[in-house]
Amino acid sequence: MNIYKIRRKSDGKYSAGSKPPVFTNAGVYWHEEKKLRNHLLMFRYGNWDAYNGCEIVEFSFKEEGISSISINEIMELYKDDEIIRRLKSNG
């Protein structure tokens, strides 16, 4: 799976995908090249300089070893943690 982000080279921050672009540490990602292209086309008739000094970064993820846990199991774990916290606080 690949995702795409727009990174400003000067400070390494990522575009939050707004117009005009706002840059943050996390930014947003596009999971399709076509959607990224559509975002960039918003600037075609406006200010192309908005992304001057930026680059498109492609991140690639490999899915393997995916495990799962049921919601009921998670709720039981949280419930157990809550009980332990209450016992410790009532000491």
Strands (E), 1-91: 2-8, 14-15, 23-24, 54-60
- Quote the number of domains for the chain: 1
Q: Is residue 90 part of a domain?
A: no
Q: pLDDT-derived band of residue 5, with 50, 70 and 90 as boundaries?
A: very high
Q: Is residue 71 part of a domain?
A: no
Domain span at residue 43 reads 2-65
Give the pLDDT confidence of 70-89 residue by residue, as tens digits.
778 777 777 777 666 766 77
Q: Is residue 82 part of a domain?
A: no
pTM for the structure as a whole: 0.65
Q: What is the pLDDT of residue 83?
A: 63
User: Which tokens hold the place of 15?
Assistant: 């575009």
Q: Is residue 83 part of a domain?
A: no
Q: Is residue 43 part of a domain?
A: yes
Q: Is residue 50 part of a domain?
A: yes
Alpha-carbon 91 to chain mean position: 41
Q: What is the pLDDT of residue 72?
A: 80
Q: Is residue 86 part of a domain?
A: no
Q: Is residue 80 part of a domain?
A: no
Give the pLDDT confidence of 18-63 residue by residue, as tens digits.
878 899 999 999 999 999 998 888 877 777 778 889 999 999 988 7
